[in-house]
Structure formats: C-alpha cells, structure tokens
Structure 1
Amino acid sequence: MAGAYGYIRVSSTDQNESRQRIALERQAIRSDRIFMDKLSGKDFQRPQYQAMLKKLRAGDLLCITSIDRLGRNYEEILEQWRIITKEKRVDILVLDMPLLDTRRDKNLLGTFIADLVLQVLSFVAQNERENIRSRQAEGIAAAKGRGVRFGRKIKPLPDNFLENCDLWRNGQISGLEAARRCRMPQSTFYRKAGRLRENDANSV
C-alpha cells in the first residue's frame, strides 16, 4: 500500500523545525514517517535523508515544504528529483509550489510543465543562496574595514616574553628554554618571535 512521507532539513542544530513539521502534519503524514536532518546543505550525506530514500517505494508520496530541501544547488536538486521520480517512481509534492505535484496531469504535457517549473525554481533557489553568500562576504568585508576582528581571539604575550626573546636572540639561552620559561610550545615561541621582529622592522 502506498504511503506518504515527509522530509525536513534545517541548516543548523539551533534552527527551529516546527514550521516545516506542522506543514507536513497538515498533509496527514504520520510522525514516524517524517525524516529530519539538522545539517548544513553543503554536506549532502544526510543520514535521515538516505534512510528515507531506502524506505520509499514505487507509488509512495514524498512531501517537502520547499524545493531547496532536496539539495544544495541547481544540479543536485534536479538529480535528487530524477532519482525519486524516475528511478524510484515516487511522487513529490512541494507545498509552497502546488504546480510541483507529480500526482497531477501524468500525461506528457503535465510532466513537461512540472519539469519546466522545477528547473526554473531550482535555478532561482541557487541564485538566492549565492546572493546570500555574496551579502555575507560584503558584510564581513565592511566589518573588517571597521576594525572588527574574526577568528580566534589572539592571546596576549606573557609578561616575560620580551626578556626571554632577547636572551634567545643574544644566544644566552636556547629556543627550547625560552619557550619553557614562557610556558608555550617551541614552535609558538619561534612564530611569535618572528612576528615581533617583523613588527620591529616595520616600525623603523
């Protein structure tokens, strides 16, 4: 007997999935047939998605709230659509785009219209993601221009670093001993000493 399944994807573990779940439950999909991944779209090895694919049988229905639940870019969305509808012969319903309901108009014209709408929406979804990344990059560049620092916070040098750095440069102690006194790995000591020398040279 054919069954209805739902798939939810959220981009991170702190994103609320309730909106998608409520929309799927309104389609009378049982809770045990709703699969959810809380992973980045950049990594398509989604365990729940893969588990759902194994469950799907010919004649089943897969409901998703939006076309971009299927993949991270234009090509991947089309490929997953092909696998589900052509290879597994499962119908797909995209809730925010009723035209993408493969149960309707299974003749040649209906299939053509659904495929055309799919390609347009997939292209739009990818462009929107690229626009978001572009805006994020612009925002980061603007923040850096204002002096905002990104990445790990740089630890201050130990109070005795300059003293031991001078002793090491003058050959009075080894690099290993200088690093031990400063309580840092030897490679870190050398790196910070090198940067200190560069800064001194630039200030001359």
Structure 2
Amino acid sequence: MSNVKVFGYIRVSSKDQNEARQLQKMIAKGIDERDIFMDKASGANFDRIQYQALRERIREGDLIYIDALDRLGRSYDDVIAEWKHITRTLKADIIILENETLFDSRNFRDMGDMGKLMEDQFLSLLAYVADQERKKIRQRQAEGIAVAKAQGKHLGRPKFNLDSLNKEQYKTLEENYIIWKEKKLSGVRFMELLGLKKNTFYKIVKEYEYRA
C-alpha cells in the first residue's frame, strides 16, 4: 500500500519525566517527528489527547512503534483490548521496541487464523504475568508498611514540632517571643526570622507557651 504510514507513540507519566530517550528511539527508526505523538499523562486509561489524535490517523496497513508495552497503558486488560482494536479492527500493526521479537503483530498476521489463536494465547499469558506482578508489588508494599510500623517508624510526612527547631531557631524564638507578644514584632516578620510557614509557626508557638 503506497499510503502506509509509520507512527511513533511516546508516553511519560508526568511533566517532570523526560521523553528524550523514547524520542531518540523513534527517530532512529526513521520516523518523521510530525508522525510521533507524545502524551505526558497517566496510563490508567486511553483518554489522552495525543493518543486519541494518533488513533484518528491510523489506517489499514500502518505501523505503530511504542517503546514498551506499559507506555501504551497500565491496565493490561485494556491494553489487550486496544491491541486487538488496532491490529484487527483497524488492521494496522504494532511493534514494541523493548522486545521486537515477541511484540510484533506482523508475525501473528502472517500466520492467518492460527496466528490469531497464538496471539490471543500470548496476550492472555501477558495479562496473567502482569496481574501477578502487580499483586507481588502490592504485597511487597504491604509487607514494607507492616515492618515499618512494627519498628515504630513514622509513615508519611515527618511531623515538625518544637524539638525539631535547631539551636539558632530556638534562640531566635526565645529572644523574640515576648517582643512578638507585646506586638512590637509582626507575626510575618517573626515567621521570617524563624524560617517557618504560618501553620507551623503557630503550632510551634503554642507548644512553646505550653512548655513555658
């Protein structure tokens, strides 16, 4: 087909992540940059602006390169459904660069009906392995939290209190507390001297008053 296009799809989970590595791989494959679609979004679903734009461009015989399967999506049941939509409904092909030997839909297409059967089995196995891996991760996280709690470790943000002040901050608090109470020093200036935010400042002051 003379109008067959080659596309690249890139996804990073957040604005802080760098897409350069994936982009270099696509360019190395000779894909024109205008045919590379990139989202900076979660892979929880397919409601991504650039992915949907790519989907609208795909035609029969086209080829889509993706760096890794989890760049397509995080829910493997959804990934399998999307894979089948692209390869069977749209009749395009997908190549996953992370493992081109296994993840190349053209290999299954060349085998006809037997290829579809093998592809279904392959994708089902993939979903099972991915689901088991997710369960292992959740189990390790739960075990880690349990161990941390047993050791008395605080989980979440560290609590900031009067004892958290360094010597310089405590000295500044002692020297300026009365001046502040007499309204000869503004609360804003006192906070600046201590290097504290409003909520933390008033929490520290209350604790200081209680101990005094």
**Same fold judged by TM-score > 0.5?**
yes
Separation (CA, whole Å) in 2 of partners of 1:57 and 1:107: 20
Give how far 1:117 is off: 2.0
Question: What is the number of residues matched between the two proteins?
Answer: 161
- The answer to whether the 8 Å contact 1:99/1:114 transfers is no
Residue of structure 1 equivalent to 2:140: 135
Residue of structure 2 equivalent to 1:115: 120
Residues 1:26 and 2:28 are matched in the alignment: yes
- The answer to whether the 8 Å contact 2:8/2:66 transfers is yes
Separation (CA, whole Å) in 1 of partners of 2:146 and 2:41: 26
Tell me the alpha carbon deviations over residues 5-26 of structure 1, each in whole angstroms, 9 at most, x when there is no partner.
1112223333333332222222
Separation (CA, whole Å) in 1 of partners of 2:154 and 2:145: 10
Identity %: 45
Residues 1:35 and 2:40 are matched in the alignment: no
CA distance 1:130–1:14, change in 2 (3 Å): farther
Residue of structure 1 equivalent to 2:171: none
Separation (CA, whole Å) in 2 of partners of 1:151 and 1:101: 43
TM-score by length of 2: 0.63
Separation (CA, whole Å) in 1 of partners of 2:144 and 2:15: 24
Query: Which residue type is aligned with residue 98 of structure 1?
Result: T
Residue of structure 2 equivalent to 1:7: 9
Separation (CA, whole Å) in 2 of partners of 1:25 and 1:155: 49
Query: Which residue type is aligned with residue 9 of structure 1?
Result: R
Give how far 1:62 is off: 1.0
- 1:8-157 map, 5 Å: 8-95=10-97, 96-104=99-107, 105-152=110-157
Query: Which residue type is aligned with residue 119 of structure 1?
Result: S
Moved more, 3-12 or 115-124: 115-124
Separation (CA, whole Å) in 2 of partners of 1:127 and 1:46: 27
- The answer to whether the 8 Å contact 1:73/1:126 transfers is no
Q: Which runs of 5+ in 2 are unaligned?
A: 163-197, 200-212
- The answer to whether the 8 Å contact 2:6/2:31 transfers is yes
RMSD value over aligned CA atoms? 2.9
Separation (CA, whole Å) in 1 of partners of 2:160 and 2:80: 48
CA distance 1:127–1:16, change in 2 (3 Å): farther
Separation (CA, whole Å) in 2 of partners of 1:98 and 1:85: 17
Q: Which runs of 5+ in 1 are unaligned?
A: 158-182, 185-204
Give how far 1:156 is off: 5.5
Partner-residue secondary structure (3-state), 2:105: coil
